[in-house]
Amino acid sequence: MQVFKAFLKTARKSMPHNLMYFFIFSGIALALSFSSKNPEDPIFQSVELDIGIIDQDHSTASKALSQYLNTMHQLSLMTYDKEAILDQLFFRNLDYILILPEGFETRLLLGEETLFETVQIPGVYSSAFVDEQINAYLNTLKLYLTADYSLNDAINQTADTLSQTSNHVRVLELDDKKSSSMNGIYYYYQYLPYVIMSIILCGLTPILTTFWEPNLSKRISCSSTSALSRNLQLAFGSIVYCFGIWLLFILTSCIFYGSELFTENGLLCIGNSFFLLPVGVGVSLIISSFAPPSNRINMYNNIITLGMSFLCGIFVPQQLLGEQVLSVSKFLPFYWYIKNNNLISGFSGETFQMETYQKNIGIQALFIAAIFAVALVISKYKSERHST
């Protein structure tokens, strides 16, 4: 087992680099788990904004609208001065300015669409929320006017109707099986492929590259160790190395999520993640067979891991990716891993079916077989080249 012992000694050199990835990822996973602890807390609540109102109509309708907005925001009455308006917005003294032009009430009673003007800070989404509040008020008021209510009665009825609505929104959990902890588990296993692949490529590839170095390879060939024994020992060392990395992350997730990880969904996530290991080993075998220098290994690692992470839906959800991107990503193993992760968590909108989960596992297995076939072809070619 001399080759195996040499493998382990070489593996120790990559430990600091691997631990750095591990601690960074663990910190991010811990933060994500805490962020999903309280799903019952309000995830949306309206806030008061500083709004300037320029009422040039001074009518009953314009005053009613101003009074309605005053119940939700801080209002400041202004006169029309273009420079003053721009200064107020530039210095963030006001978030939104509403202009009610002369004839506002008349156009409202006539049912016209364009009733007011606004001046807003570009790119501030809260302004759209104020627009919705104003439109909701005016549309409700128009409904009562259409129903032959007088203006004063319509204003009173509109105020009563809108007072019954709530600005406090909660998300209801429609599926009892999807607990809050499952969100943390989902995010943990969502980013796991990037971390595991990075650790394997940066840690395992340099070790295997060492044994592919021409002089060392020839010395091993001249020893009593056969090529089969050498390859088996390297394979065993790679399995121990990668399995240890995977087990470390699984134990960490057990610490973070406890008993939730041992539910059906949690165990499916663990089983799905196991197929990341042979993918990483196969890619490392291919890269190491070319015996690249260490700086190139880091370059290959960034290209492969970041490329697959962006294309396959790790960093950007698959639901947000374009059809052309998804068509390309289907030829990468991480795509099918993320498909399963989304299926388990329910984030993809699909109903979980074991047949679909197993099909995605099978596709990953086919990719693994193809990667190892390429690695064996390259290995055989390199061995024959060294022997000549």
Three-state secondary structure readout of the chain: CHHHHHHHHHHHCCHHHHHHHHHHHHHHHHHHHHHCCCCCCCCEECCCCEEEEEECCCCHHHHHHHHHHHCCCEEEECCCCHHHHHHHHHCCCCCEEEEECCCHHHHHHCCCCCCCEEEECCCCCHHHHHHHHHHHHHHHHHHHHHCCCCHHHHHHHHHHHHHCCCCEECCCCCCCCCCHHHHHHHHHHHHHHHHHHHHHHHHHHHHHHHHHCHHHHHHHHHCCCCHHHHHHHHHHHHHHHHHHHHHHHHHHHHHHHHHHHHCHHHHHHHHHHHCHHHHHHHHHHHHHCCCCCHHHHHHHHHHHHHHHHHHHCCCCCHHHCCHHHHHHHCCCHHHHHHHHHHHHHCCCCCCCCHHHHHHHHHHHHHHHHHHHHHHHHHHHHHHHHHHC
What pLDDT was estimated at residue 39? 45
Which of the listed residues 135, 152, 169 is the one where a domain comes to its end? 169
Same domain, 267 and 134: no
What pLDDT was estimated at residue 137? 93
What pLDDT was estimated at residue 15? 76
Same domain, 227 and 139: no
What pLDDT was estimated at residue 385? 65
Same domain, 149 and 213: no
Residue 25 sits in which domain range? 2-39+176-387
Same domain, 281 and 380: yes
| 52-66 per-position pLDDT tens digit | 999 999 999 999 999
Same domain, 276 and 353: yes
What pLDDT was estimated at residue 179? 47
Same domain, 116 and 129: yes
Same domain, 280 and 229: yes
Same domain, 104 and 147: yes
User: What stretches in the chain show pLDDT beneath 70?
Assistant: 29-30, 32-47, 123, 125, 165-182, 212-228, 231, 348-349, 382-388
What pLDDT was estimated at residue 178? 45
Same domain, 351 and 381: yes
Same domain, 220 and 310: yes
Which of the listed residues 145, 169, 193 is the one where a domain comes to its end? 169
pTM over 0.75: no
Same domain, 220 and 136: no
| 222-231 per-position pLDDT tens digit | 666 666 677 6
Count the domains in the chain: 2
Same domain, 164 and 151: yes
CATH number, domain with residue 105: 3.40.190
